[in-house]
Amino acid sequence: MTSDFEDHVLGADGRFHAVDGEVRLSLYGWEDWIVLAVFWILACVVFYQVFTRYVLNDAAGWTEEIARYLLIAVTFLGGAMAVRRNTHIQVDFVYRFLPRAAGRVLSLLVDAVRAAFFGYAVWLTWLLMDRIGSQRMAVVELPIGLVFGAMLIGFALMFGRALQVAWHHWRRGYSALERSDVLQEDKA
């Protein structure tokens, strides 16, 4: 008796056969590539930090601060990827018990509240940048506004993508909240 795993992985000769899936770069948005670049800059800074600390025994003090700020940039810029792919945490269990019309209204409300939240976050981040954006970082003599600028761009991208997702859900007539089987289609 063979298992389902063996039927899909093992060939008739009993050997492991794997076929690489098609590489589809069209799945990635332009912001994904920006996040990837910032992530690799972060990786280089962290590698340099480890190298100077443990190999040279003379830690570069600026690397910890810059790595922290780059991680903030990756987080907020990467949030736009999650909004575009509709992969933020969501609870769709409730929708199984709601009537279809109530689920539709609630789904539209979720889209509207999400977009409003990101729009409000853009405005608050702008106000924050206006007040303390010219202050200097603790170790590196750069304006802290650079960090808040990455946050502002990230929230603006999330806001724009939330509007796109809401429009897509409106035109399609349902969202992944209402039909969890579509979530996999949205990610592909």
Specify the DSSP class assigned to residue 140: S
How far is the C-alpha of 104 from the C-alpha of 21, rounded, in Å? 35
CA angle, 156 then 36 then 31, to 5°: 30
Residue where the block lists tokens 């190298």:
51
The per-residue pLDDT for range 139-175, each reduced to its tens digit, is 888 888 888 999 999 999 999 999 999 999 899 888 8
Prediction pTM value: 0.79
The whole-number pLDDT of residue 140 equals 85
Strand boundaries in the chain, DSSP class E: none
The per-residue pLDDT for range 8-35, each reduced to its tens digit, is 667 777 777 777 778 887 788 888 999 9
The whole-number pLDDT of residue 121 equals 97
80 burial level (CB within 10 Å; 0-12, 13-18, 19+) = buried
Higher per-residue pLDDT: 13 or 68: 68
Confidence band of 4 (pLDDT split at 50, 70, 90): very low
Asked if 68 and 138 count as a contact pair (C-beta separation under 8 A), the reply is no
DSSP line for 53-103: IIISS---THHHHHHHHHHHHHHHHHHHHHHHHT-S----TGGGTS-HHHH
Asked if 76 and 150 count as a contact pair (C-beta separation under 8 A), the reply is yes
Q: Show the tokens assigned to 89.
A: 């945490």
Please provide the size of the chain in residues.
188
